[in-house]
Amino acid sequence: MPGERIMASYVVRRQRKFTPAWILARLEEFLYRLVIVPLVAFLPARLAYGVARLRGSWWYRLDSFKRKQILSNLEGVFGDELDLTERKRIALDFFRMKSCQAIDGMRLAGNGQALARLVEIHGMEHVKDALASGKGVVVCIAHFGSFTNCCSLLGAYGFPVTDVGNFTYNPMITLIERLLKRSIIEKRAPHHFRHPNIEPRKGQVEAAIRMSELLRANEVITIAIDVPVADQDRRHAIPVDFLGRTVPLLPGSVSIARQTGSPVLVVVALRSPDWIHQVMKISPPVSLEGDIEEAFKRCVAMVEAPIRQNLAQWDGCANTQALFDFGLLSPEKSH
């Protein structure tokens, strides 16, 4: 309901207090990205990711605001399913994972082999076979694991990849992450995407035309499907099962695939327990039989399972506003 969404936004804004501890944590984050990551990223992997993991543990202790936010979010969404010990473990692993992702991004430099050596890819043949049909490929992803870096890695292997997503408006991405992207990632960190990011919120018709052009040129587009729906787009959303609730999501990935005849693949990147290696799983083409809603629900189910099993690797854990927008969290359950 609109009233509930307004209240949720109020609660989130109320929680954002620019305390000295909050400011210190943000400064530390910039320092890590600007100075530490470039210095250690190309050291032997065990050392580079060891530094990242230690920094993640330090960040967990330093950033009490985000730590408490994650713990509160997990309790609000999952209740008694997760005890306090488990919630703390997930929160700590989230901080460590984010620190490691910064190393991932820097290791994409050059031909990307510094990262590629650490990522085991299952199902690369599905991308090759799909492109052989000449109709491009739609890749569905989630804000899970090192998703951007692994999709960029496909570009490093020679596939013509372009990312689609509302980075400027996406509530799954924090303000700090946007600032980091503009000031650091876009200017300094390497990537292997063929074209600039396509943002539907800047023009939905133009974005749809551009996506169709790329698919008809037999290229690959990646689309995150676990994105909260803006109020003006809710009439286009469909209800899907996600983390034990029914949430509204936009089936644009399947819609554009049906229009262009492009196959749809689902990609999930999972970090290994050693924090160094990753496994990137590329699915066979998802069946588009039935209506759009049925096909889209198949895609969502394929990303929801690893998210539920590895909550620390999902960006939504730290984003209270996104959880409100999904309907996974209510104002009454926010501390």
pLDDT at 175 over 80: no
d(C-alpha 128, C-alpha 119), whole Å: 18
- Residue whose token pair is 């570009």: 155
* pLDDT of the residue at 6: 40
Query: pLDDT band at 179, cuts 50/70/90?
Result: low
Query: pLDDT band at 4, cuts 50/70/90?
Result: very low
pLDDT in tens, 42-61: 999 999 999 999 999 999 99
Angle CA 177–28–270, to nearest 5: 50
Among residues 248, 208, 211, 212, the alpha carbon closest in space to that of 231 is found at: 248
pTM for the full model? 0.88
d(C-alpha 249, C-alpha 267), whole Å: 18
Is-contact 174 210, C-beta < 8 A? no
Is-contact 331 14, C-beta < 8 A? no
DSSP, res 276: S
pLDDT in tens, 233-291: 889 999 999 999 999 999 999 999 999 999 999 999 999 999 999 999 999 999 998 89
Strands 264-271 and 137-141: parallel
Exposure b/e, 306-318, CB count within 10 A at least 16 = b: bbeebbbbbbbbb
pLDDT at 183 over 60: no
Average pLDDT on 90-118 reads 95
pLDDT at 172 over 60: no
Among residues 132, 27, 90, 66, the alpha carbon closest in space to that of 307 is found at: 90
pLDDT at 181 over 80: no
* pLDDT of the residue at 7: 42
Exposure b/e, 178-187, CB count within 10 A at least 16 = b: eebbeebbee
